[in-house]
Amino acid sequence: MDVVGRLLALLVVLLLGSGFRSSGILNGSRTQRLNAVAYYVALPALIFVSTFEQSIGALLSPALLVGLLVVLFATACLAWLVHRNRDSRARRSVAIVQSYHSNLGYLGLPLVAATFGPSVTAMASVVLGITTLTQLPMTILVLSTLNGTDVSIGRELRGLVTNPVLATLVVGLTVGSIGLAIPSPLTTGLEAVGSLALPVALLCVGASLEVDLPSVDVGATVTVVGLKIGWMPAFAWLVFSVLPVEPAAFTAAVVMLGTPTAVSTYVFASELGGDSEFASLNVFITTLSSVATLFVLITLVG
């Protein structure tokens, strides 16, 4: 029942965010400020407190790295095969990227931290780092190539280097590896700030959810949902059951890869010639559907 309560609370906060957007409480500028709090403050604090007592060697194993890459690239290839015959390149490109691009930062890591112990949360932080470094460039490449849009590779690489979430992960693992002592009042404060990551991020996601019913392509959307929150976590379960990873790594990887399509895919689709209305719909449907599928995943791995 504890898992049910957490996921119902997740759904309530999501719907609150959507309601606040509809009522004007969370307009564009306020949502941007809330996003900044989540992206630059709450999520980095959560990542640091989950990793600063862990060494890189204890968290990052070859098996974890290989497993994540296998699941990500296999799902991307399957998505390409499934969607390759769609008439619209703009819709095809979005369907492919939204079938594998997970919402790891705003939903995955905060949910893991609120549900599991410190060891799983630390592993989830590493999963976030590895997968982000892989799925983000791949999404930009797929969208820009299929839609024939120009993109500055240098700018995107600079964005990765200056990403506060990834930078904090590096700092936390470095501190843990060299055994640097952190004053307890500081860690207590960071833990308090990090605990805000889930509600703040969920409000941001909810405020970003939109759906345009006249543009619904049922077949395409059902396929995206099936691949993202059905196939991907199931395949991750299979892959990490075979690989020699610790239980904490298994749990973190399966739950993180079972998260819905990231809101950022809508932003990338809008900027790189994708079908933005289709992208928005898929984010909405996968996010709401994932409340049920994440319950099943968390129950099984828990």
> pLDDT tens-digit profile of 2-48?
666 777 777 788 788 888 888 888 888 888 888 888 888 988 999 99
* Mean pLDDT, rounded, for 258-278: 88
The C-alpha atoms of residue 195 and residue 180 are separated, in whole angstroms, by: 23
Q: Assess contact for 143 and 272: CB atoms under 8 A.
A: yes
Written in H, E and C, the secondary structure of 113-138 is: HHHCCHHHHHHHHHHHHHHHHHHHHH
CATH number of the domain that residue 266 is part of: 1.20.1530.20
The residue type of 282 is: N
Categorize the per-residue pLDDT at 1 as very low, low, confident or very high, splitting at 50, 70 and 90: very low
- Helix (H) / strand (E) containing 161: helix 153-161
User: Worst-scoring range by mean pLDDT, 59-73, 224-238, 263-277?
Assistant: 263-277
Categorize the per-residue pLDDT at 153 as very low, low, confident or very high, splitting at 50, 70 and 90: low
Number of domains in the chain: 1
HSE of 193, CA atoms in CB hemisphere, 13 A: 20
First-residue to last-residue Cα distance in the chain: 12
Domain boundaries, position 120: 2-301
Residues 72-96: tens digit of each pLDDT: 999 999 999 999 888 788 899 999 9
Residues 243-261: tens digit of each pLDDT: 999 999 999 999 999 999 9
Determine the 3-state secondary structure of 26 from DSSP: coil
What was the pLDDT predicted at 135?
93
CB-CB neighbours of 161 under 10 Å:
9
Higher local confidence (pLDDT), 117 or 208: 117
Instruction: Annotate 177-199 with b (16+ C-beta within 10 A) or e (fewer).
Output: beeeeeeeeebeebeebbbbbbb
